[in-house]
Structure 1
Amino acid sequence: MLRTTMAALVHPTTKLYSLPLKTFFSHSINKPLRLIIRQSYPRAVRATLSINTPRSLSSTAVPQISNDTISDLDNSYLSCSMPNSKRPLKIAVLLSGGVDSSVALRLLHAAGHSCTAFYLKIWFQEDFENFWSECPWEEDLKYAKAVCNQVDVPLEVVHLTDEYWDKVVSYLIDEYKCGRTPNPDVLCNTRIKFGAFMDAISNMDFDFVASGHYAKVIHPITDETNELSFLQLSKDMLKDQTYFLSYLSQAQLKRLVFPLGCIPKDEVRKLARKFDLPNQERKDSQGICFLGKIKFSEFVGRHIGEKEGVLLEAETGDFLGSHRGFWFYTIGQRQGLGLAGGPWYVVEKDVKNNVVFVSRNYYSVDKRRRTFRVGSFRWISGSPPHNLNHLRCKVRHGPVFYDCSLHMEKDGAENIGTVQLPEDDQGLAAGQFAAFYEEEVCVGSGVILESWDDKGFPVCDKARDIANMEDKSKIGKPVKIKPKPEDCLRDSVVRLV
């Protein structure tokens, strides 16, 4: 794979060359392209594109706002866009081509700030053109450009393909190989959007970086550098994305502004129509950003491959069938098992022997899943909260919180925390993040660790012995799965009715 480092953006030996943009895109965009080449770099590098740049990045001119737009806009919509700043701010806005980031851009523009939009291109088009037949980033970029053209905002396209591969995708693959279930969105935020990208524009004198995330950042009123900024829940609890932002550092948070933190999602759609955005009816994107319409399981299969293993019933050790590799499964998974007489759930994985244990009793067995361990902590303030006995936590994205207590202890050089929940959670998965909150403020997060033996789902000795067999061909043929007694009773009642 060709490699690019963001250092090329700021290196003193960088020269700019103009090429026609149609060289890179199938659709016509009548703007010049900046090809950035670092002379001392011994190999060819990817281009970083610059589209629609009528003003210099160093410009502090305030955009001309339509008086009609401002007069019709409720001031509450601008409350997360720093409208009371003592001076117009220079803000770098991450623009994806979707509705959320587009509305965020327009709100900042309406608040009187000088905005430059940036589209982060992280597709692996060179190496994966035979694997993916479509390049959805072209459509995203077309929408992003149209949104910027409405208010004459510059748009920069920045390639972070290699950074995304090195800092996110490689980590995901390694975690899946170890049997864990990583979270790419958390890593993308801390390592790419607000990591590598922030490093790339560090010499461009932007006051803040903005995006379309549903979260609030509360900045100190004073200019004291030692005052903390806080990450707070958004107004829309269903869309709230503080879970995905919980691994940010204080240095990153101090440079962020999230205009949508004060606005519910349905109101964002209304604003998109009010601004007459070209993407106002566009559906929200789903899944991981670099995959487009490709399932992540297909991507994992491409890079890890497939290795046949066995499915065993946890309670009996019965051989139920085969699977393509333990890395395709996660604890609590129900879909994609292909077993009759269900529902069946993945309850444990034997990584060493490539065995997946399943059960139909996932919700009836006391799995003691109200206690789990967390490591690799990052506290947004730089240190843990004072009162660890009265926290709230999320173990996945969504509106559900648990009241919890956290007991910290040393495990060698690392701090390990034991989390105690008031009730069982059915889907705790090693590799996922647990985010912690004090009331409405997100204070940080850590990575959920593997369960210790006596805290997991009870797998019988017979199943363990079969899993340890070197020659799995001696197991025989899969057993015929019989319906559970309660299922037979239910079917009889249905027939009688």
Structure 2
Amino acid sequence: MRVVAAMSGGVDSAVAAARMLDAGHEVVGVHLALSQSAATLRESARGCCTIEDAGDARRVADVLGIPFYVWDMAARFKRDVVDDFRAEYAAGRTPNPCLRCNEKIKFAALLDKAVALGFDAVATGHYAQVVETVNPDGTVRRELHRAVDAAKDQSYVLGVLDADQLARSFFPLGDTTKPQIRQEAAERGFYVASKPDSHDICFIADGDTRGWLGRELGEAPGDIVDTDGAVVGSHDGAFAYTVGQRRGLGLSRPAPDGQPRYVVEVRPDTNQVVVGTADLLGVNALTGDHARWCGPHPRGVVEVGAQVRAHGAEYAARAWADGDSVEVRVDERIRGVAPGQSVVLYDGTRVVGSATIAAARLERTPVG
């Protein structure tokens, strides 16, 4: 097969490209230029898309003896990921830009361009597994599964892939642990073998999301209120707060019972942040929209595992789909679930699909 290996300049994508070459594929390395003003050097482990990263990827391609190109997707990344991130926070939601990047850039823009140029698939350094199973009619179905390295598993952020995208995707690292990947990179003579991992959010290099949002959206002073509507503090922008947040609230009035208070709601229409006690954070019912299925569309009520954070716990749940929407009822209460987050559904280790959380609430009536 002719395969585009997405090479970020890190150790994972370097080994992924090497393994695809070892498997006998015709491999071409591609580095995605996603920043419209790429820095020469990385500011921290959070940064990405620097000239240094592109150079690291090129050096690996030279060691492998494969062609290497840089594809400029900065405008698409800004529109589909950065602008979306900004708009979601402005609307009082808490997005995950990695899911959006995978959906819109790596497995849409990149894959579409690769196919248009005559390639068969894209390979990345994500930690996940693709398992092929045979259908009753003899056709082969590709399933997305968790990686063997639970600490590095990235199946959550790949839950936005649909069956067609999955059919053209390879994740060569899914059966290996991160220490083994670094050892393999060193044995192959890759300069990036000990290069630090990058972290979310890649386009906020200093990790100060609140500061970035303040610069992008401007200050918008408003009130922090309790659940009775009493003003207990102030803020410079409701967009800087998320459900479940406890630190950095700067409340002027303590709770009458002295208990800590958390953000329980963000109201962008009135520019208010609502705080309350921890017991108000527990929810067991989620409504999701923008459903994406990694395989067959589930029919009726199905037993699933539900995960609402990239490295969070998986909870036993039941789910049912209605067009583009999904209802999920979790068997126990989950704290700090915010609109805009994604819920990814699992059947064992297999990823069933995902949806963006539109609403979360506590339901006391059993399902079915």
Q: TM-score, normalised by structure 2?
A: 0.87
SS in structure 2 opposite 1:124?
A: coil
- In the alignment, structure 2 segments of 5+ residues that lack a partner are 364-368
Tell me, yes or no, if structure 1 residue 247 matches structure 2 residue 160. Answer: yes
CA contact (8 A) 2:128 2:144 kept: yes
CA contact (8 A) 1:329 1:346 kept: yes
CA contact (8 A) 1:393 1:436 kept: yes
Tell me, yes or no, if structure 1 residue 383 matches structure 2 residue 297. Answer: yes
Q: Partner residue of 1:262?
A: 175
| More moved, 177-186 vs 292-301 | 292-301
Match of 2:266 among 349, 352, 356: 349
Tell me, yes or no, if structure 1 residue 338 matches structure 2 residue 250. Answer: yes
The whole-number CA distance in structure 2 between the counterparts of 1:296 and 1:367 is 22
- In the alignment, structure 1 segments of 5+ residues that lack a partner are 1-88, 456-497
Q: Partner residue of 2:56?
A: 143
The whole-number CA distance in structure 1 between the counterparts of 2:155 and 2:268 is 32
Q: Partner residue of 1:97?
A: 9
State the Cα distance separating 1:167 from its structure 2 match.
1.8
Which structure has the bigger radius of gyration?
1
Tell me, yes or no, if structure 1 residue 278 matches structure 2 residue 191. Answer: yes
The whole-number CA distance in structure 1 between the counterparts of 2:319 and 2:288 is 9
The whole-number CA distance in structure 1 between the counterparts of 2:337 and 2:83 is 23
Instruction: Give identity over the alignment, percent.
Output: 32
Q: What is the aligned residue count? A: 353
Q: TM-score, normalised by structure 1?
A: 0.66
State the Cα distance separating 1:182 from its structure 2 match.
1.2
The whole-number CA distance in structure 2 between the counterparts of 1:399 and 1:355 is 28
What does the per-residue CA deviation read over 1:169-191, in whole Å, with 9 as the maximum and x for residues that have no partner? 22222221211111111110011
State the Cα distance separating 1:135 from its structure 2 match.
8.3
Q: 1:429 to 1:366 in 2, by over 3 A?
A: closer
Moved over 4 A (4+): 339-343
Q: Partner residue of 2:234?
A: 322
Amino acid at match of 1:426: R
The whole-number CA distance in structure 1 between the counterparts of 2:145 and 2:49 is 32
State the Cα distance separating 1:353 from its structure 2 match.
1.3
How much is the aligned-residue C-alpha RMSD, in angstroms? Answer: 2.7
The whole-number CA distance in structure 1 between the counterparts of 2:302 and 2:87 is 34
Q: Pick the structure with more strand per residue.
A: 2
CA contact (8 A) 1:238 1:399 kept: no
Tell me, yes or no, if structure 1 residue 184 matches structure 2 residue 97. Answer: yes
User: What does residue range 443-482 of structure 1 map to in structure 2 within 5 Å?
Assistant: 443-451=352-360
CA contact (8 A) 1:334 1:344 kept: yes
Tell me, yes or no, if structure 1 residue 291 matches structure 2 residue 291. Answer: no
CA contact (8 A) 2:114 2:122 kept: no
What does the per-residue CA deviation read over 1:191-244, in whole Å, with 9 as the maximum and x for residues that have no partner? 10110111212233223210000001123579x996421111111112111111
User: What does residue range 28-427 of structure 1 map to in structure 2 within 5 Å?
Assistant: 89-125=1-37, 137-219=50-132, 227-293=140-206, 295-314=208-227, 317-339=229-251, 343-359=260-276, 361-362=277-278, 365=279, 367-384=281-298, 386=299, 388-398=301-311, 400-409=313-322, 414-427=323-336
Q: 1:146 to 1:136 in 2, by over 3 A?
A: same
CA contact (8 A) 1:308 1:325 kept: yes
Question: RCO higher in 1 or 2 (8 Å CA, sep ≥ 6)?
Answer: 2
SS in structure 2 opposite 1:202?
A: helix
Q: 1:408 to 1:148 in 2, by over 3 A?
A: closer
Tell me, yes or no, if structure 1 residue 431 matches structure 2 residue 340. Answer: yes
